[in-house]
Structure 1
Amino acid sequence: MQEINIHTEYIKLDQLLKWANIADSGAFAKLIIQNGDVKVNGEVVLSRGKKIYKGDIIEVNGVGSFKVV
């Protein structure tokens, strides 16, 4: 499992996917989220504005798992 460091209290899911180089654009981040390809702490998330906090586990189909630290 890879770690993603954030320097704020939280980050929105679509921004996190771009920050971690999982999505190369906001449009692609939106697409993979709306397709149900992203889980946060084991639950599928369809909202790109979902707030992600340190300690959350992000799973992206075809990419892997990431822990936010």
Structure 2
Amino acid sequence: MEIVKIKDEYITLGQFLKLTNHISTGGQAKPFLQENDIYINGVLDNRRGKKIVPGDEVKISDEVYKVVNS
């Protein structure tokens, strides 16, 4: 499990994908989400605007990320 630190109250899924280097631009979020299953706290979610808050676990493929405050 990899720890991802955020400064704000939340981060959107699209921003999270950029932060974790799955995509390089925001425009790549929609196609990436259409082709990959993303689980947030065990629930499948493909909304790029989904708010991710500290304490959430995000699973992309076989990678698991824990979101914490920095």
Q: TM-score, normalised by structure 1?
A: 0.86
2:20 matches 1:11: no
Query: Which runs of 4 or more aligned residues in structure 1 lie more than 2 Å from their structure 2 counterparts after TM superposition?
Result: none
> How many residue pairs end up in the alignment?
68
**5+ residue gaps, structure 1:** none
RMSD between aligned residues: 1.4
**5+ residue gaps, structure 2:** none
Report deviation, 1:35.
3.1
Map 1:34-53 to 2 at 5 A: 34-53=34-53
1:34–1:47 Cα contact (<8 Å) kept = no
Give the secondary structure class of the aligned counterpart of 1:29: helix
Give the secondary structure class of the aligned counterpart of 1:22: coil
2:36–2:60 Cα contact (<8 Å) kept = no
